[in-house]
Structure 1
Amino acid sequence: MSVIKPALEHPNLITHLLGANNYCWIYYRNGDKKLLAKPISYLQDELPGFIRTHKSVLINPIYARTLTAPPRQKMAGEIQLESGLTFPVSRRRWNEVAGALDHRLAPDGDKVSSAVSFVASPAKATPSESVSQKTILLITDDLPCLSPVARVIARGWPQYQLQTFEQSNHLPDHLASVSAEELPTVILLDARTTTVERLQTLQRLKGNPYLCRLPVILFVAPTDTLVSDGYKRQANSVISLQDDHLTFVQTIERVCRFWLQTASLPTLTKQVLTNP
């Protein structure tokens, strides 16, 4: 008997789906998840009310909380769910996603969530709107790990918001343009698979007098060369890991425990950062 139909029997209970080659993870509101041997494109056809925000991300719109426009041209936007989990919105899908969310209709049947606070605007946020709670910035293309990492952060450090991106080459320019209050508390830079781009980003961050004091934790594949390359580019910590989701999530929890609870961090102000 196929497991596809039972898994999709109550779509209102599904928050999002993450594709991984010819497989797809289904995430439910109660925290459960299921792995199906079907590509995300197949499940998109089976869930016509869901919105494809990225080649590997399918969102249930009833759980959308905010939609943030790309901060600059050629950059991805971002969608945040009511759980606090964020996902990229690819440039070529932006207009489609924004239009779908702006004109969405309430689903038939029982409502799972009442009064979701939803924002969809192509305009840039005003300074007062852009200042938010403290953030942890995670750069990774390991999308299946995003949901468990978000739960770890929400459980252990609810005062922090997790922000995620797949690509990092835009980060130095973007972070250099924001106020000190908007900078992340710590940057988790996953270079286990996307190595060259991450190392270049690290070097640019540490070479910028406005950003160099930000703690950057670099995750690399377990080779001596990559560890040396990370420290050569002034990573605050370099952690070598196998490509394993569970170990990655557990390591992030330990990293956050040290940097958010034990380590002493500088008070970052624009004056201090621009005049080191």
Structure 2
Amino acid sequence: MSIIKPALLHPERINHLSGANNYSWIHFRDGEKKLLAKPISYLELLLPDFIRVHKTALLNPAFITKLYQPPRRKMSGKVYMDTGDVFPVSRRRLQTVIDLLQRRDEAVTQIGVIRETSVGSEPEASTTASVFLVTEDENITPLLSQIVTSRKFEHQLHVSRTSTSIPDLLKPLPLRDYPSLLFLDARTAMLERLNTLQRLRIDKDLCRIPVILIVSPTDQQIINGYQHQANSVVTFPAVYPQMESTLERICQFWLRIVALPNATTTGMVA
């Protein structure tokens, strides 16, 4: 069964959605996040009461507290959520957003149209740390999911078959919500994975994410991985139990042993 409908079953629990290309994040009120392989335009159709303020943001109007209307028409506006999140309102959507908010009875008493900004407090950190996995190997996903969601690690696992959108998907997130670890399975789509790795490494914020590159056991692929600055390059044994053991040891090292920069530190992860 698709995970999309269950994820949207209780829209009152959703704070907002953010999208990048063909993927979208659902940001729940309790701090949990869920990644869906659907564009935000598709989810907009399933959530008709939500307001699209920008091409990358779909908001629950029940939690909008203020709308900033710019002094000049050619400037963008802003909306403020009760979590402290602030979202830009594109110029072409601004009047539509104002009209939608003012037409909603439940929003009229909550929304104030203001002409000067006062940035709200920082939203609370996500309650669940995450691990990303990009792979076409259906054997890895259940193994890694069982490991990272266990009481030993208590992480959420997000899975994608392609990596092209990963940098665009992660870039808008607060640094504290970056994944603790990213697995790129380069045994297929090697060039795509290396290109994604390169994009992550040249970004001053995304470069902090530890990347494990999974490759076929050839010297050239291993060399390519380290030349593109993967934190670790690993090859998987063909035997199923050994694969599980390898994944668990990787998680033990990167999620429990190694020291990583916090959200206020810049620079590349060594």
TM-score, structure 2 normalization = 0.57
Give the counterpart letter for 1:261 in structure 2: R
Question: Relative to 1, partners in 2 of residues 1:228 and 1:153: Cα closer, same or farther, differing over 3 Å?
Answer: same
Task: For residue 94 of structure 1, report the CA deviation from its aligned partner.
Answer: 4.3
Counterpart selection for 2:133 from 129, 138, 146: 138
For the residue of structure 2 that corresponds to 1:251, the secondary structure is helix
* Mean CA deviation greater in 166-175 or 220-229: 166-175
For the residue of structure 2 that corresponds to 1:149, the secondary structure is helix
Give the aligned length: 196
Check if 1:123 corresponds to 2:48: no
Contact 2:17–2:59 (CA under 8 A) maintained in structure 1:
no
Q: Distance in 2 between matches of 1:203 and 1:214?
A: 12
Instruction: Give per-residue Cα distances to partners, 1:154-213, cap 9 Å, x unaligned.
Output: 225343211222221112223222211111111111111121111000011111111222
For the residue of structure 2 that corresponds to 1:72, the secondary structure is strand
Structure 1: gaps of 5 or more residues: 1-49, 54-58, 100-120
Counterpart selection for 2:37 from 89, 99, 115: 89
Q: Map 1:112-191 onto structure 2 (within 5 A).
A: 123=59, 127=85, 128=123, 131-191=126-186
Task: For residue 221 of structure 1, report the CA deviation from its aligned partner.
Answer: 1.2
RMSD: 4.0
Give the counterpart letter for 1:89 in structure 2: A
Check if 1:272 corresponds to 2:266: yes
Contact 1:67–1:98 (CA under 8 A) maintained in structure 2:
no
For the residue of structure 1 that corresponds to 2:18, the secondary structure is coil
Contact 1:136–1:161 (CA under 8 A) maintained in structure 2:
yes
Structure 2: gaps of 5 or more residues: 48-56, 61-80, 86-122
For the residue of structure 2 that corresponds to 1:169, the secondary structure is coil
For the residue of structure 2 that corresponds to 1:137, the secondary structure is strand
Task: For residue 86 of structure 1, report the CA deviation from its aligned partner.
Answer: 6.7
Q: Distance in 1 between matches of 2:20 and 2:212?
A: 28
Rg larger in structure: 2
Question: Relative to 1, partners in 2 of residues 1:265 and 1:92: Cα closer, same or farther, differing over 3 Å?
Answer: closer
* Mean CA deviation greater in 167-176 or 71-80: 71-80
Q: Distance in 1 between matches of 2:220 and 2:15?
A: 38
Give the counterpart letter for 1:123 in structure 2: L
Q: Distance in 1 between matches of 2:163 and 2:45?
A: 22
For the residue of structure 2 that corresponds to 1:222, the secondary structure is coil
Match of 1:116 in 2: none
